[in-house]
Amino acid sequence: MFWDQKIETIECAALEALQLKRLQATARRVASNVPFYQQKFAELGVKPGQIKSLADVRRLPFTISADLRETYPTGLLAVPKDDTLRLHTSSGTTGKPKALFFSAKDVDNAAELIARCLVMTGVTKRDVLQNMMTYGLFTGALVMHYGAEKVGCLVIPAGPGNSEKQVLLMQDFRTTVIHVTPSYALYLADFLEKKGVDPRRDLALRKAFVGAEPYTEETRRKIEQALGIDVYNSYGLSEMNGPGIAFECEHKCGMHLWEDNFLLEIVDPKTGEPLPDGQTGELVLTTLCREAMPLLRYRTRDITSIIPGPCPCGRTHRRLHRITGRADDMLIVRGVNIYPQQIERVLMSLPAVGRNYQIVLEGLDEMTINVELAEAGFDGHVEHLTRLQSEIADRLRAEILTKPKVHLVPPGTLPVSEGKAKRVIDNRSL
Amino acid sequence: MSAVNLIAVFAENQLGQMARITKVLADAGINIRWVTIATNETLGVIKFLVDKCDLAYQSLHQKGWTVSLVEVLAIEVEDRPGGLHAIADCLARNKINVENSSGFVSHNRAVLLIEVQDVAKARQILAKQNLRFLSQEEILKL
């Protein structure tokens, strides 16, 4: 199913011509309207007129996360403030947040992209979508909300947490689709189990759009299995609208990135040099349709690769591999680079392991992984638990090249999150 | 022959865990007849023989504890030198590994509890030695 078949299956040559036209227009607009980019262009000695092909994007300056904080609140606006319609911010744990402005056209466009994402997994106006992301300054919930309304779904703006209420709403309004973070989806599955609610028997759930935190294929399967639904991986970031940047189609084999709206590059996270299709690196995005706040070559810090070749669904927009980590999340333990997702992949592949875990770093590079046992993983024998602990440690060593301590803990004893999970606790005295 | 079931509780190896568990059992009016604790560096499993097994399971589960039933063989051992050896020797000759065992003497009767992988097989082999097994009811009446 297509929302906008013409643009979703556009020929590559036509797509590239459209991208170039939009890139040139964007470069011209920021060069004349945004002092921040005027200065960057001057430093690099580049003029918008020099953009003759898509490869020329490399001449343009990168924009990094710190640039958004430094130009806060209105330094990156490309339109008069009166022409903006909505403000979101991106969570800043320290200091100032990033301010993100939308014009009326930007709001509509973001909803349009969400509509494409939803329809490509088979969502129709007959669906009931319960939106479990945080409403407010965070883009996650509102952008999805507008997109789902565009498709004609009944949207329940539940927000995250308050699991009792979530279950009530799901039961009484026969919710078919949820939009949720992976950690809350797992939490909810546990909660339903404790309440004695069988999702296959008692709920009408069919699909979940899961995103806002990176997660692994093993976690996807765990959620699918626990809730009896299809889980579609979604990718977005507040700096680029929020959700709806890249979503999976019904084939679940990578996320189509809407290339008519975003110019996509994969670069070496250290040098910023472009990498060819198929190689893993940092995702860099340039907005092609944004009015209020265009961004050139934004360094997302997300690590992924482009999946080469066509998708059976017929969409020509290239697919991104599942995000394997954030350049910022990378841990260095005993000199080894480790992404938390590597640890999660190992844990979630073991049936005796439950749904929650925690990585604790202490002292001089001591790594301990606290792992919840699955309810069914306990048979009363301490020897079996000891054996499982060493099996987990051995498997982790094979994956991350350093052997952590593994502490198995009873199910439900690690802190749970109803929003974004805090998986890593770094108390090292380095 | 009905089996003897112990209640096994998974607990972190931390101060006060035993007190929290026994409070749940006390509050539910459950009498503990016998207890054993097995630990490794970080965790422990506490096993109880109780008078009301199902109620104990439900009460602990409801309070969020991770519990499991463990089936054991309760063997009456002759209260004399060599009594235990006869059993251990028989199991060894038949290549049955004892995962855990413990014993107690009550009113001059010695009882050995053993955990093995294959309870039925161990029972079959030991029965040939004219050993007496105690059922859950019998062991609670001791």
Which residues in chain A are contacts of B66 at CB distance < 8 A? 373, 375, 378, 410-411
Between A and B, how many residue pairs show a Cβ–Cβ distance under 8 A? 52
Residue A371's contacts (CB-CB under 8 Å, 6 or more residues apart) are A347, A353, A354, A357, A392, A406, A407, A408, A409
Q: Is the dihedral of CA A131, A245, A81, A98 positive or negative?
A: positive
Chain B residue with Cα closest to A380? B8
- Are A410 and B70 an interchain contact pair (Cβ–Cβ within 8 Å)? no
List, as ranges, residues 74-133 from B with C-beta within 8 Å of A: 99-100, 115
Condensed to tens digits (0 to 9), the pLDDT of residues B6-47 reads: 999 999 888 899 999 999 999 999 999 889 898 888 899 999
Task: Tell if the CB–CB gap between A381 and B43 is shorter than 8 Å.
Answer: no
SS3 A182: helix
- Buried (b) or exposed (e) across A71-107, using 16+ Cβ within 10 A? bbeeebbbbeeeebebebbbeeeeeebbbbbbbebbb
- Which chain B residues are Cβ-neighbours of A369 within 8 angstroms? none
If you measure CA to CA, which chain B residue comes closest to A379? B68
Chain A within 8 Å of B3 (Cβ-Cβ)?
no
Q: Which helix (H) or strand (E) holds B54?
A: helix B53-62
User: Is A46 part of the contact surface with chain B (CB cutoff 8 Å)?
Assistant: no
Beta-carbon separation of B66 and A411 below 8 A: yes
Q: Is residue B63 domain-shared with residue B121, that is, in the same domain?
A: no
> Residue A341 pLDDT more than 80?
yes
Q: Where are the domains of chain A?
A: 1-328, 331-428
Residue A411: list chain B partners with CB under 8 A: 66
Question: Across the interface, which of A380, A408, A413 has its CB nearest the CB of B47?
Answer: A380
Residue A34's pLDDT band (cuts 50, 70, 90): very high
CA distance A378 to chain B (A): 7
Does residue A334 have a pLDDT over 80?
no
Which residue is closest to B48 within chain A, CA to CA? A380
Q: Which residues constitute the domain of residue B20?
A: 4-71
Residues of A in contact with B42 (CB under 8 A): 389, 407-408
User: Which of B28, B47, B27, B50 has its CA nearest to residue B38?
Assistant: B47
Domain co-membership, B37 together with B89: no
B9 with B40, same domain: the answer is yes
The chain A residue lying nearest B101, using CA atoms, is A381
Strands (E), A144-296: 154-156, 177-180, 207-210, 230-237, 242-248, 255-257, 262-267, 281-287
Q: Is residue B34 located within the same domain as residue B57? A: yes
Q: Look up the ipTM and state it.
A: 0.86
Q: What is the pLDDT of residue B118?
A: 87
The mean pLDDT of chain B is: 89
Residues 348-377 (A) with a CB less than 8 A from some CB of B: 373, 375
Residue B1, min C-alpha distance to chain A (Å): 22
Q: What is the mean pLDDT of residues A227-240?
A: 95
Residues in B closer than 8 angstroms to A386, CB to CB, are 40
Report the number of distinct structural domains present in chain B. Answer: 2
Does residue A43 carry a pLDDT above 70? yes
* Bridge partners, residue B32, by sequence: B50
Question: Are residues B46 and B102 both part of a single domain?
Answer: no
Report the CATH number that the domain containing residue B100 is assigned in CATH. Answer: 3.30.70.260
Q: In chain A, positions 197-256, which contact chain B (CB-CB < 8 Å)?
A: none
- Whichever domain contains B19, its CATH number is 3.30.2130.10
Residue type, A154: L
pLDDT tens digits for range A79-88 = 999 999 999 9
Last residue of a domain, one of B54, B71, B88: B71
pLDDT at B101: 84
Q: What is the SS3 assignment for A321?
A: coil
Using a CB–CB cutoff of 8 Å, tell me whether A196 touches chain B: no
pLDDT greater than 70 at residue A24: yes
Interface residue A430 vs chain B (CB under 8 A)? no
Asked whether residue B2 carries a pLDDT value surpassing 60, the answer given is: no
Alpha-helical regions (H) of A247-368: 340-348
pLDDT at position B49, please?
Answer: 93
Given an 8 Å threshold on Cβ–Cβ distance, is A373 in contact with B40?
A: no
Look at A389 and B100 and tell me if their CB atoms are within 8 Å. Answer: no
Q: Given CB atoms, is B65 within the 8 Å cutoff of chain A? A: yes
Closest CA to A265 of A316, A322, A304: A304
Which of B11, B12, B66 is closest, CB to CB, to A375? Answer: B66
pLDDT band at B131 (very low <50, low <70, confident <90, very high): confident
Tell me if A171 sits within 8 A of A203, measured CB to CB. Answer: yes
- Note whether B65 contacts A410, CB cutoff 8 Å: yes
Q: Is B27 exposed, middle or buried (0-12, 13-18, 19+ CB in 10 A)?
A: exposed
Taking each continuous run of H as one helix and of E as one strand, the counts in chain B are 5, 7
**What percent of chain A clears pLDDT 70, i.e. is strictly above it?**
97
CATH fold of the domain at A331-428: GMP Synthetase; Chain A, domain 3 (3.30.300)
CATH of domain A1-328: 3.40.50.12780
- B40-64 pLDDT, tens digit per residue, is 888 999 999 999 999 999 999 999 8
Nearest to A60 by CA among A245, A272, A236, A277: A272
Poorest-pLDDT segment among A203-212, A269-278, A297-306, A323-332: A323-332
Shared domain for B77 and B67, answered yes or no, is no
